[in-house]
Chain A
Amino acid sequence: MLTEEEKDELFDAICDGDRETVVALVIRARDGGEDLAQMVKDTMIPAMAQVGDLFSAGEIFVPEMLVSARAMQGGIDIIEPILAASDHEPLARVCIGSVKGDLHDIGKNLVVMMLKGAGFEVEDLGVDVSNEAFAAACDRGHDVVCLSALLTTTKPQMMKVIRHLKDQGKNARIVIGGAVITQDYADLIGADAFGEDAPGAVRAVKRALGLAN
């Protein structure tokens, strides 16, 4: 079991991007019989949430968020197989992709990291993803579909994806984001939520699922 001081140390190590310390503490927790799911929920996810808040407030930049996300991932890589073997259920299952015609993945990749750091199971569908591939992902049990578009030229494709999923009777929540996307546009095309940046996408997924206001 980790002491409270060690849990604080784990929290700080994630915020500081100290992957080595995160890995060492997670191994100690695992070997000491810690409730890993609870530790992720109580210590690790809040640490990444704090990093996300600092980013959204403009107090840190993308590279610093990346360092923290990678440190967090170092711990998750150890914990994930253990939780999977114990039938632990993730917060929700999310798939994400850049819509058809869009070849950029920068924003999408940041969202993947932040969603994983928030406790979601994420399937990355990649770039230039067809409507059919999004629908197939829904069939694999995803609760949320995240759509990314970088340019005005690919933005309209989001509406086509949403129509396609509705026509196919898919009930997954839809969250959209990207450099040219606004809340007004999300409302216009019937998306369930809009994320203004990577941490904002996490908040949007939670809103779409009714897990946050």
Chain B
Amino acid sequence: MAMQPCASPLSGPFTPDASDTEPLGDLVAIAAARVARQAGYAALAAKGGVKAVALADWLDQARRCLLALARPRVMSLPLATTVTADGVVIEGLVSIRDPSWRDDIAEGAEMGATLCSLGYGQQEAFARLGRDYALHHVQGDLARETLFALARAADRARQRQRPGWRLHRIPVKAQAQCGRHQLWEPVQVQALLSLFAPGAAGVTMTETGFFNPLHSLLGLTLMRPPGGNGAQGCLS
């Protein structure tokens, strides 16, 4: 299949880091509110009494644990892309089969990858929480939401560098599955991870597709220039 060189990567280095995002305390507060709105937690809080008190205490302990341990890290890279008949090849390594992305790239859209991590291990958290399984579970839920809040903050930082551009998150096509949910394709994510400096942000990925530290993510984004007619993309 013939490949065509396409839009060059961003002209300048794009490297928002954790200092470009909101303070960790603010992100954790956002995350705690989201956790509290999840069906299971909301149902528990609605029952009131000792259950609601226990939940509030757990969230508070989880928040303090996270604030004590987290060393949030964010790194972003512009990505060189090549269009193919049915999609885009990123840095010659990762194929995204979606004609709409190909068309966007041809119209001047830019791709980037953002690596985020909370920078601490779950065993560290488990030990700090006195090996309390229930507390550790709540801490895990809070950490996951905090990671997503960090990633959204990184996206906002990226958008601030391109006023008027529209940012879309791109799912890396999945083969690894978790229940009914398709998650990510380990080989492709490892290839994307290899674009960052070795051990960037202290994040590695096992060959089975697990980030280490666990609460890390690698996001692929497309920035569309103002006034573009690109198709509405699929958000991850």
Contacts and interface: CB of A to CB of B under 8 A. Distances in A.
A33 to B, nearest CB: 28
Interface string B125-138: 00000001110111
Interface size class of B (residues with CB under 8 A): 35 or more
Contact of B50 (A20, A62, A109, A110): A20
A153 B208 contact: yes
B123 interface: yes
B165 interface: no
B54 interface: yes
Interface in B33-84: 39-41, 43-44, 47, 49-51, 54-55
A113 B134 contact: yes
A78 to B, nearest CB: 16
A109 B133 contact: yes
Interface in B200-214: 206-212, 214
Interface string A102-115: 11111001101100
A106 B140 contact: yes
Most chain B Cβ neighbours within 10 Å, of A19, A63, A153: A63
B41 A63 contact: yes
A67 interface: yes
Interface string A23-64: 000000000000000000000000000000000000011111
Interface string B82-124: 0000000000000000000000000000000000000000110
A24 to B, nearest CB: 13
A150 interface: yes
B206 A151 contact: no
Interface stretch (B3-11, B13-21, B176-184): B176-184
B22 to A, nearest CB: 27
A62 B58 CA distance: 14
A199 interface: no
B186 interface: yes
Contacts of A73: 134
A180 B180 CA distance: 8
A150 B183 CA distance: 11
Given A20-B50, A63-B55, A64-B51, A103 B214 contact: yes
B147 to A, nearest CB: 14
A17 interface: yes
B207 A101 contact: yes
A126 interface: yes
B51 A67 contact: yes
Interface string A147-165: 0001111100000000000
Contacts of B177: 151-152, 180
Nearest to A13: B50
B134 A103 contact: no
B210 A104 contact: yes
A123 interface: no
Nearest to B179: A179
A153 B176 contact: yes
A112 B179 contact: no
A112 B214 CA distance: 20
Given A16-B49, A152-B176, 17 more contacts: A17-B51, A19-B50, A61-B43, A63-B40, A64-B44, A67-B51, A67-B134, A69-B133, A101-B206, A101-B210, A103-B210, A103-B212, A109-B137, A150-B178, A151-B178, A153-B209, A179-B178
14 contacts: A20-B50, A63-B43, A66-B137, A67-B51, A101-B206, A101-B210, A104-B210, A104-B214, A151-B177, A151-B209, A152-B177, A152-B178, A153-B176, A153-B208
Interface of A: 16-20, 60-64, 66-67, 69-70, 73, 101-106, 109-110, 112-113, 126-127, 150-154, 179-180
Interface of B: 39-41, 43-44, 47, 49-51, 54-55, 122-123, 132-134, 136-138, 140, 175-179, 183, 186, 206-212, 214
